């Protein structure tokens, strides 16, 4: 699962994975956006 999450963050142009995980953690909708489950 971690590899998929890192891949999704890289598709969103995050080069710093720690920054990407903070982005995903800070707002509930961000991980859904990363997985294209919302608009």
Structural domain harbouring 11: 4-38
Q: Can you give the pLDDT at residue 17?
A: 93
pTM of whole model > 0.75?
no
Specify whether the CB–CB gap between 34 and 8 falls below 8 A.
yes
* Residue written as token pair 């080069």: 15
Specify whether the CB–CB gap between 35 and 29 falls below 8 A.
no
* Residue written as token pair 């590899």: 3
- Per-residue pLDDT tens over the stretch 1-39: 889 888 988 988 999 999 988 988 888 787 777 777 776
Q: Can you give the pLDDT at residue 15?
A: 93
* Residue written as token pair 């953690």: 25
**% of the chain with per-residue pLDDT over 70:** 95
CA distance 1 to 3: 5
Q: Into how many domains does the chain fold?
A: 1
């Amino acid at each position: 699962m971690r590899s998929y999450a890192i891949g999704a963050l890289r598709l969103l142009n995050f080069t710093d994975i720690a920054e990407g995980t903070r982005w995903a953690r800070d707002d509930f909708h961000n991980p859904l956006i990363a997985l294209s489950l919302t608009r």
